[in-house]
Chains A and B, each alone.
Chain A
Amino acid sequence: MLSIANLHVSVGDKPILKGLSLDVPAGEVHAIMGPNGAGKSTLGYALSGRPGYEATEGAVSWKGEDLLALEPAERAAKGVFLSFQYPIEIPGVPALTFVRTALNAQKRARGEEEVSAPAFLKMVKAASAALKMDFDMLKRPLNVGFSGGEKKRMEILQMALLEPSLLILDETDSGLDIDALRIVADGVNALRSPERAMLVITHYQRLLDYIKPDRVHVLAAGRIVASGGPELAHQLEAEGYDKYLPEAA
């Protein structure tokens, strides 16, 4: 479903990803683990098309299409969703307005009918209740004054409403206490389906106790240096990343 081949990405003049290859079949959840500075967040940004993250070599195919040739919004309409490690605060744009604008923009791009305001409200009420979110909070400007946990729930709420097919979770567990982590993980697990692929980017194994991956990959110095089953995450937790660092090689 997602196929990354020999991807090189530079930020400015600095190469960050140096020949990353990865395949995520439909229905699978793959974890990307690695030490700080390995390029984990860069992978998320490169897949979603953030300006300044330039693919200098390699290819990314998503459902058979050249993902790198598309604008960020086009990628989103094709199902790519990046859950940000640090969700952005947007003063002046109420969260509800933002999500509805995004949903209808995606629908327009796909040639689908837009969602009416009453139908949208019904969707949001159900989705926010499932995430134990206060509905009134969604009338406030997006993420402004939200706590770390509220911001992450807001990301999962958007995911539930936009129904993406490629979910990229960048350090979704950071800043969450155990209760919030469980709610967020439940939200993510509810989206697991044979039509979706997920990339869970995380530094710690903790999140993977709640979102169980099919495969675990170790990203170090811009490349996948090891891959395995869920047991690899536990092994990393016990042994650390030292043996994958360039100094140890």
Chain B
Amino acid sequence: MNALPLIDLKDASSFPSRRTEAWKYSDLRKYLREAPAPSPSAAISITGGGPFEALGGEAMVFVNGRPVGASAFMGSGQQTVRLRFMSKATGTGHATTARISARAGAKLLILETHEGEGSAYVAHNRLELDVARGAEVTRIVLTDEPEDAISITQAQVRVEAGGRYRQTIATTGARLQRLETEVRHPGQGAEVRIDGLYVLSDARQADLTSVVDHVGADGTTSQLTKGVVRDTARGVFQGRIVVERGADGTDARMGHHALILGERAEVDAKPELVIYADDVQCAHGNTVGNLDQAALFYLQQRGIPADEARALLTEAFLVEVVDRIEHEGAREVVREWLTARL
């Protein structure tokens, strides 16, 4: 584990720059030279239950890095937890760590939101997640953060034999937003799916970086990330799947596909398969393009105005990621979130 460097917000020397390979597209030091002043404990009244309120479950809330209640959660049986990282700060920084574990055989739905108010804050959130033997965990992440915020989320996921971990991140980015996922994959029938979706406009940036480390035989990983960038926005995808020696029978697929809809928008992609075992099935695909002009004209010819036609085609492109969310309620929330942002 810890293939990706950990960061301590109080210690500027821990901030990676582009000289650190894993951060070469998201030069944190360029945006943040010094440790930010600590955010105040915001006495904000938590109104409403966040974007996933309708799905109920337990709430686990952090405001400016401080837990409102418990900072750890242990799930057993079938449970839903709404993990809310709320920021209400201006020019200051805060960090926190949430710990969630799913006991053997548990079925846990984590609905994680990054809800930002204020401006120019720096948020650093860590999630330590354990998926015990035979447990099934779905993590859905939605972010809505200000365009001048810096936001780093580092999730470390440990999956045990026969466990299932499914993750979908949907984001609109921030000034610099990094969403990291590290998965320790035991093989042994465990299944991992980590998907991502980014919709970036103006000068926003989002970086979806993941490392899945297959340490045992017979594990599967499926990864699909899709994004669209407009204006001067920038999307970064770094996906790394490692198949360690002895992890035979691994089946790993990775796809990243992006649409660039602005002449000054940018996408940087780095898919990596690192394979030390012999008997494996691994594949990756990566494409970057524009909307199909013939399709765009076809829609317009039928009476759909140009802007609406573009939005429809963009949604059609991205919705594949949403459709992979098995939980119907969560899928519908993400679908509506997406439609509202196109």
**A residues touching B (Cβ–Cβ < 8 Å)?**
48-51, 71-73, 75-77, 80-82, 84, 87-93, 98-99, 101-103, 105-106, 109, 141, 158, 162
Q: Are A71 and B302 in contact (CB under 8 A)?
A: no
Q: For residues 295 through 319 of chain B, which have their beta carbon under 8 Å from a beta carbon of chain A?
A: 295, 297-306, 308-309, 312-313, 315-317, 319
The answer to whether A162 touches B305, judged by C-beta atoms less than 8 angstroms apart, is: no
Taken together as a complex, chains A and B put the C-alpha atoms of A105 and B299 apart, in Å, by 11
Cross-chain contact B297 with A50 (CB below 8 angstroms): yes
Kindly provide the distance from the CB of A53 to the nearest chain B CB, expressed in whole angstroms: 10
Q: Does B294 contact A (CB under 8 A)?
A: yes
Task: Establish whether residues B303 and A77, one from each chain, have CB atoms under 8 Å apart when the complex forms.
Answer: yes
Residue in A closest to B309 when the chains form the complex, CB atoms: A73
Q: Is the CB of B301 within 8 A of A106?
A: no
Question: A71, B316: Cβ atoms under 8 Å?
Answer: no
Contact check, B303 vs A51: say whether CB atoms are below 8 A apart.
no
A113 CB, min distance to chain B CBs, angstroms: 15
Are A90 and B313 touching (Cβ within 8 A)? yes
Determine whether the beta carbon of B312 is less than 8 Å from that of A73: no
Looking at the assembled complex, report how far the CB atom of A162 sits from the nearest CB atom of chain B, in whole angstroms: 7
A102 nearest CB neighbor, chain B only: B302
> How far, in whole Å, are A203 and B300 apart by their CA atoms in the complex?
26
Using CB atoms, name the residue of chain B closest to A86. Answer: B294
The count of residues in chain B whose C-beta lies closer than 8 Å to any C-beta of chain A is 23
Q: Is the CB of A91 within 8 A of B316?
A: yes
With a CB–CB cut-off of 8 A, which chain B residues contact A162?
A: 302-303
Interface flag for B287 (CB, 8 Å): no
A-B contact pairs, 8 of them (CB 8 A): A72-B297, A72-B300, A73-B303, A76-B302, A90-B295, A92-B315, A93-B313, A102-B302
CB distance from A72 to the nearest CB of B (A): 4
Contact assessment for B294 and A51 in the assembled complex, using a CB-CB cutoff below 8 Å = no
A102 touching B303 in the complex, CB below 8 Å, given contacts A72-B297, A90-B298, A92-B320: yes
**B293 at interface, CB cutoff 8 A:** yes
**A11 to B: closest C-beta gap in Å:** 14
Q: Pick the contact of B301 from A76, A99, A141 — CB < 8 Å?
A: A76
A84 in contact with B317 (CB, 8 Å): no
Also in contact, A88 and B295, with CB within 8 A (given A73-B304, A76-B302): yes
Q: Is the pair A88, B305 in contact by a Cβ cutoff of 8 Å?
A: no
The 3 A-B residue pairs with the shortest CB-CB distance in the complex, in nearest-first order: A92-B316, A76-B303, A106-B303
Most buried by B among A72, A88, A158: A72
| Chain B residues near A48 (CB-CB < 8 A) | 301
Whether A84 pairs with B298 at a CB distance below 8 angstroms is yes
Residues of A within 8 A of B309 (CB): 73
Residues of chain B within 8 A (CB-CB) of A71 are 300, 305-306
A50 to B306, CA, bound (A): 12
Contact of A101 among B292, B312, B317 (CB under 8 A): B312
How many whole Å from A151's CB to the nearest CB in chain B? 12
**Residue in contact with A92 in the complex, picked from B298, B303, B304, B319, CB distance below 8 Å:** B319
Q: Which residues of chain A are within 8 angstroms of B320 by Cβ–Cβ distance?
A: 92
For B308, the chain A residues whose CB sits under 8 A away are: 101, 105
Given known pairs A73-B306, A77-B303, A105-B305, the reply for A51 and B316 (CB within 8 Å) is no
> By the criterion CB–CB under 8 Å, are A72 and B301 in contact?
yes
| Complex contact A102–B293 (CB within 8 A) | no
Q: Please indicate the chain B residues that have their CB under 8 angstroms from the CB of A91 in the complex.
A: 316
B304 pairs with A105, CB closer than 8 A: yes
Bound: A102/B309 CA distance, A: 10
Shortest C-beta distance, B228 to chain A (Å), equals 13
Chain B contacts for A51, CB-based, 8 A? 293, 297
Asked if A93 and B303 make an inter-chain contact with CB atoms under 8 angstroms apart, the answer reads: no
Bound-complex Cα distance A101 to B303 (A): 9
- Closest Cβ neighbor of A109 among chain B residues: B303
Contact among B294, B303, B317, B319 with A88 in the assembled complex (CB-CB below 8 Å):
B294
**Which of A80, A87, A101, A141 is in CB contact (< 8 Å) with B304?**
A101
CA distance A80 to B319 in the complex (A): 31
Report which residue of B293, B297, B298, B301 has the largest number of chain A beta carbons within 10 angstroms of its beta carbon: B301
Q: A102-B304, A105-B308, A109-B303 are in contact. Are A88 and B316 (CB under 8 A)?
A: no
Decide: A93 near B301, CB < 8 A? Known: A88-B294, A88-B295: no
Q: A81 vs B302: C-alpha distance in the bound complex, in angstroms?
A: 7
Name the residue among B303, B313, B315 with the largest chain A CB count within 10 angstroms: B303
Q: How far is the CA of A98 from the CA of B295 in the complex (A)?
A: 12
With A51-B293, A71-B306, A88-B295 as known contacts, state yes or no: A76 contacts B300, CB within 8 Å: yes
Q: Shortest beta-carbon distance, B315 to chain A, in Å? A: 7
Give A87 to B117 CA distance when docked, in angstroms. Answer: 47
Query: Once the chains bind, are A82 and B301 in contact (CB under 8 Å)?
Result: yes
**Chain A, Cβ-Cβ closest to B316:** A92
Q: How far is the CA of A89 from the CA of B319 in the complex (A)?
A: 16
> Which residues of B have CB within 8 Å of A105?
303-305, 308
CA distance A92 to B257 in the complex (A): 15
Contact flags B148-175 to A (C-beta < 8 A → 1, else 0): 0000000000000000000000000000
Report if A73-B305 is in contact (Cβ < 8 Å); known contacts: A51-B293, A51-B297, A88-B294: yes
- B299 surroundings in chain A (CB, below 8 A): 90, 98, 102
Segment 183-235 of B: residues with Cβ below 8 Å from A: none
Report B-chain residues with C-beta under 8 Å of the C-beta of A92.
313, 315-317, 319-320
Query: How distant is A99 from chain B, measured CB to nearest CB, in Å?
Result: 8
A137 to B53, CA, bound (A): 36
